[in-house]
Structure 1
Amino acid sequence: MSDEDRTTYLLIDGENLDATLGVGILERRPRPEERPRWERVLSFARAEWDQPVKGLFFLAARHDLPMSFVQALMSIGFRPVPLTGRPDEKIVDIAISRTLQALKDRPADVMLASHDGDFLPDLAELCDGRRTGVIAFQEFRSSGYRELVDRGLEFFDLEYDVEAFDTRLPRIRIIPIEEFDPLEFL
């Protein structure tokens, strides 16, 4: 497979992103209009590394399959991965970890959308010359990922880099001085 034929695998940890948005930022359950526009995340990944993207959206579906959400994901180009398991199992984390391990043997690049440090060992294995990235809210992303920057890991903020939201979120973040707008604070 030539570099022109490479694919980016975009792995979405739906549970983690939704919980971080709700608990960490909004301090309540997000309303549909406050959730990321997932088609923008796919488009961002495609444009950022200028290659085809295969989006896998991992979600816990312990008892019921959220069909309207699954159909919406499919219509924009994601492949939903609905999972079930024992209540004590972190089923989404297990599936993403297995997927990252399976990608080790493929000539593909990987973007992981999650804040979860549990994926650090698996993602470290993929920092072997291929492009790797983490999409998250920078202030909630596991600090352990910083140790992979020297090995090529890139960071993308879900709101500011990906522009996945229709409205500005009520976040407190470190602002690069070139982005500082005093009018936002007046």
Structure 2
Amino acid sequence: MASTDDRLTYLLIDGENIDATLGMSILGRRPHPDERPRWNKLLQFIERQWRQSVRGLFFLAVEGDLPASFVQALVAMGYQPIMLRGEGKVVDIAIQRTAEALASREADVALVSHDRDFALQLDVLAQTPGRRTGIVGFQEFLSSDLRRIPGVEFFDLEYDVHAFTAELPRLRVIDIDEFDPLDFL
């Protein structure tokens, strides 16, 4: 679904950050396969939301064997897996470099992470006139540094994107207009 001017959105996914937040902060254990995000829904959501083509870059740290079945699934969904090895936070370094490289391109950018390590790069991207920038994740875990960047749209991975097949056990602040007491009885 390309827009009339064929503008492109780059979707930068910090899979480790989302997996760690889901496992440690929401579920309190390693997620089962059926509790992980449906990544194809995320691509479709951003494409519909911003009405333009999306190029999904999924960053992975690979320390041992290649996660071949997961990588094949990502490719089948239309993602470009970027598998990294090395010292330090290789995924963070690669996403930072990618965001810096995107600053000189006429493209929109959505980051899938809660990590404050990307605040500087996302702030630079958000200041570019005419560029849409977004963050996708779990609102309650978004770093305050990312939250403070003006002009960035936020999309909740569960509530907006509907990337999960079952409701997650999340605690959240509810707008009174959305409050239904039956949800708690």
- TM bin, normalised by shorter chain, reads over 0.9
In the alignment, structure 1 segments of 5+ residues that lack a partner are none
* Aligned mates of 1:54, 1:136 — CA distance in 2: 18
- 4+ aligned runs moved over 2 Å, structure 1: none
* Aligned mates of 1:111, 1:170 — CA distance in 2: 25
Matched, 1:116 2:115: yes
* Aligned mates of 1:108, 1:178 — CA distance in 2: 35
In the alignment, structure 2 segments of 5+ residues that lack a partner are none
Post-superposition Cα deviations, 1:4-58, rounded to whole Å, max 9, x if no partner, equal 1210000110000000000000000000000000000000110010000000000
**TM-score (norm. length: structure 1):** 0.95
* Aligned mates of 2:48, 2:176 — CA distance in 1: 26
* Aligned mates of 1:112, 1:132 — CA distance in 2: 8
- Partner residue, 2:33: 32
Tell me the CA shift for residue 144 of structure 1: 1.3
Equivalent residue letter for 2:55: K
- Partner residue, 1:162: 161
* Aligned mates of 1:176, 1:109 — CA distance in 2: 29
- Partner residue, 1:79: 80
* Aligned mates of 1:131, 1:173 — CA distance in 2: 27
1:95-114 → structure 2 map (5 Å cutoff): 95-114=94-113
RMSD (Å), alpha carbons: 1.1
Equivalent residue letter for 1:65: L
Question: How many pairs does the alignment contain?
Answer: 181
- Partner residue, 1:62: 63
State the SS of the aligned residue for 2:148: helix
State the SS of the aligned residue for 1:139: helix
* Aligned mates of 2:45, 2:180 — CA distance in 1: 25
- Partner residue, 1:43: 44
Tell me the CA shift for residue 3 of structure 1: 7.0
* Aligned mates of 2:65, 2:183 — CA distance in 1: 42
Q: Equivalent pairs: percent with the same residue?
A: 61
- Partner residue, 1:92: 91
- Partner residue, 2:125: 126
**TM-score (norm. length: structure 2):** 0.95
Equivalent residue letter for 2:47: R
